[in-house]
Structure 1
């Protein structure tokens, strides 16, 4: 994608570089450099906060029906970029291109849906038991800071940007530094769709640099995180210091239970679908299976059959049904977990190591 480069969005201005060393984005399929992205620091955070403060004064007073027009404009701008968005996502996280296209469509729906919500921001009139009426009105909470993971980089940003704009709140996003081009294309769609300068801003940079500065800012009144439970606990503690409102989408580890009377073949097929989706890099992916002893062999055979039917390969190849793990650190961790599990007495039915022809 030589004609597209990652850029920060600060106060309505796209920037391809800063004074700091750029971030390197590695292709998970080849482990070669894809592109570099501008790195934001303290100066960029302070500037973004300045523009967000100015935008709040204006955007918070815009009627919900007018906000809805902007949200639908963003949806249409994303539709015009859906091919580029899917390719960028597929390159940056290694997800097969056909599956990447599906995420773009879901994200577009988010903006259309929240446009409708912006038109329905009604207060309430409540009869008082002492006579008269009590009236409530909805007001924007203020500047929002959003932190997203790399595993669903389009949909996660859409699910934070769209409701913030619908509610009349400017939003400062710090997406994963693994997905800067994907995030840039979303920012471009927001600008083209009519989002005023300062209402949507995009900062790239290490979490340890950007996040503490946004968390310490008094004017940031709400945070939204999609990430690990550990990080969520840390941000909740920091948010308490300035009494920020929080929305947390954290990791899960709930088991799958296969009872004796289950349709075991269907259960195995569905469990494999959810387990292997996005190479297992999903916060709700099943990690533990409790199977009735009479069904263990049959369930295991079904999972093996589904796993061995996967076509591993480059994310841009439409024949590929599973790409690589996105980060080398995650690959090494999975290898260590697999080896430790076998050493502890587990029986491996298939796989368990890197395929020789995709190493």
Structure 2
């Protein structure tokens, strides 16, 4: 076990300088596994936010004109530093977010790969020359949009910020990022990698503060040209509306309630093992987490038995302890939400096959939970649990399963299990989701885009599409003269 001495000092980073908030206000950072206070995070004033936005404007003027080879070299250096510091970053992440250390160290390594991908892909953000009449040169240019205001949550303290940072900096933008006040240490460690790699002052700025006040101020600030947000649907709608009122584009990666359809021809044991592994990763606190399990009636009991075995094999505890495979939830609010969703489902006829309660120990621990016979009108079937709850529902016809799967306003991720190529193609056509995995529950990858449809947001992160929001397309018609 580590001590609070291992936790980094939390500061904001504005115009190349680490600083406290102007008013001296702070809030505590709590270890969700022990409830100990790790440190305190400074809260920005409006003056601090103005300084950050103005620094980003100055940084953009410098960074956009930095040759692509120099930009790429700095970003690759930052990625190398992050890899070399992955153990330290992972330990900080586990202490403030709770996930098992192995997952945290792996997250740090993955985001370094995402940074490298975006840095290299920016070299291929080509424009084009269009044939036209003699004496005229018609071209299309792709240029960075400008300073970005980015807002990220606590569940992936390295992954969510890096998606914004990597894409923005690779495209030639600057940014002000407000990372979560619950997991600030990881964000500090990321920014240090860029600072130590030689990123010019002002190009990347890190702030913390009261979320509604920070977002309102940065969205309205004249320097801001793009809003990038990962978080809940309700908050995303508020931020998108605020951006729309300022006629500023936004990138919204919002929540979901991912359905899993397990068809009659699927192997129920394999499907259950893969689905359970994904369900309990990060204690279910994943926007793409499989969270509604629709299983054909002919195999539902076999699937359920294997799922329960997998749930009961999960080792719950402090993510820094050896052998732990699932850490705590983020805070007391999440525990209360799990209890309420479970109680509502049981009141409407659901059966608890395992789990169903918080664990009697310090920290915010909830048992991996499997429920069967869950009514369609139970809150668990319509409200994203964002925790280790797995409702299993039997279906008879695929039409019925697809109706239930697509009945919600969300459309982020979906999963299907089948041995039939024809059925797989039907699931591909008819699932209303921006991300689909068949016969596995794979996570995001930096080589391919991620994003939602319907109320789960718009725009894409990752892959060649990941730079689109950070670039503007300019048509240039040049009449050639002597």
TM superposition score normalised by structure 1? 0.96
| 1:204 pairs with one of 198, 201, 208 | 208
- Give yes or no for the alignment of 1:349 onto 2:353: yes
Distance in 2, matches of 1:253 and 1:65, equals 41
Tell me the alpha carbon deviations over residues 67-92 of structure 1, each in whole angstroms, 9 at most, x when there is no partner. 10111111122123211110111011
How far residue 106 of structure 1 moved from its aligned partner, in angstroms, is 0.5
Match of 2:197 in 1: 193
Q: What does the per-residue CA deviation read over 1:173-215, in whole Å, with 9 as the maximum and x for residues that have no partner?
A: 0011101111111111111111110000000112112110011
Q: Per-residue CA shift, 1:4-28, capped at 9, x if unaligned? A: 2111000000124542321211110
1:19 aligns with 2:23: yes
Do the aligned residues in 2 keep the contact of 1:11 with 1:201 (CA within 8 Å)?
A: yes
**Match for 1:102 among 103, 106, 121?**
106
RMSD: 1.5
CA shift in 2, pair 1:262/1:358, >3 Å: farther
Structure 2 residue aligned with 1:277: 281
SS of structure 1 residue aligned to 2:310? helix
Query: Aligned partners of 1:260 and 1:75: how far apart in 2?
Result: 45
Q: Is the 8 A contact 1:218 1:242 kept in 2?
A: no
SS in 2 for 1:139: strand
The 3-state SS of whatever aligns with 1:223 is strand
Matched-pair contact (CA < 8 Å) for 1:224–1:248 = yes
Aligned to 2:445: none
Q: Cα gap change, 1:121/1:293 in structure 2, threshold over 3 Å: closer, same or farther?
A: closer
Q: State the distance in 2 between where 1:159 and 1:29 align.
A: 27
Partner of 2:23: helix, strand, or coil? coil
Find the aligned partners of 2:360 and 2:147 in 1 and give their Cα distance. 50
Task: Give the equivalent residue in structure 2 for 1:220.
Answer: 224
> Which stretches in structure 2 are left out of the alignment for 5+ residues?
364-482
Q: Secondary structure of 1:255's partner? A: strand
The answer to whether 1:334 aligns with 2:338 is yes
Give the SS at the match of 1:317: coil
Partner Cα separation in structure 1 for residue 331 and residue 293 of structure 2: 25
Q: C-alpha deviations, 1:257-311, integer Å up to 9, x for none?
A: 1111111111111110111110000001112111111112111111100000001
8 Å Cα contact 1:8-1:38 kept in structure 2: yes
Query: 2:21 and 2:140 mapped to 1: Cα distance?
Result: 46
Contact 1:313 1:358 in 2 (8 A): no
Q: Residue in 2 aligned with 1:177?
A: 181
- Residue 290 of structure 1 is matched in structure 2 by 294
**Which moved further from structure 2: 306-315 or 74-83?**
74-83
Q: Is the 8 A contact 1:260 1:292 kept in 2?
A: yes
Structure-2 residue corresponding to 1:166: 170
Q: Which residue does the alignment assign to 2:443?
A: none
After TM superposition, give the deviation of residue 120 of structure 1 in Å: 2.3
CA shift, 1:133, in A, is 4.2
Higher share of residues assigned strand: 2
Query: 1:60: which partner in 2?
Result: 64
Q: Distance in 1 between matches of 2:144 and 2:260?
A: 40
- Which residues in structure 2 correspond to 1:45-194 (within 5 Å)? 45-128=49-132, 132-194=136-198
How far apart are residue 356 of structure 1 and its match? 3.4
Query: Do the aligned partners of 2:148 and 2:226 also contact (CA within 8 Å) in 1?
Result: yes
Task: Pick the aligned partner of 2:233 from 229, 234, 241.
Answer: 229
**1:178 match: secondary structure:** coil
Quote the Cα distance in structure 2 between the aligned partners of 1:16 and 1:217.
Answer: 21
Q: Distance in 2 between matches of 1:149 and 1:53?
A: 24
Q: Residue by residue, what CA displacement relative to the aligned partner does 1:90-128 show, whole Å, maximum 9, x if unpaired? A: 011100101111100111111111221232232211112
Moved more, 282-291 or 121-130: 121-130
Q: How many residues align?
A: 359
Q: Deviations over 1:146-170 (max 9, x none)?
A: 1111101101111111111111111
Gaps of 5+ in 1: none
Q: Which residue does the alignment assign to 2:459?
A: none
For the residues of structure 2 that align with 1:2 and 1:115, how far apart are their CA atoms? 34
CA contact (8 A) 2:35 2:362 kept: no
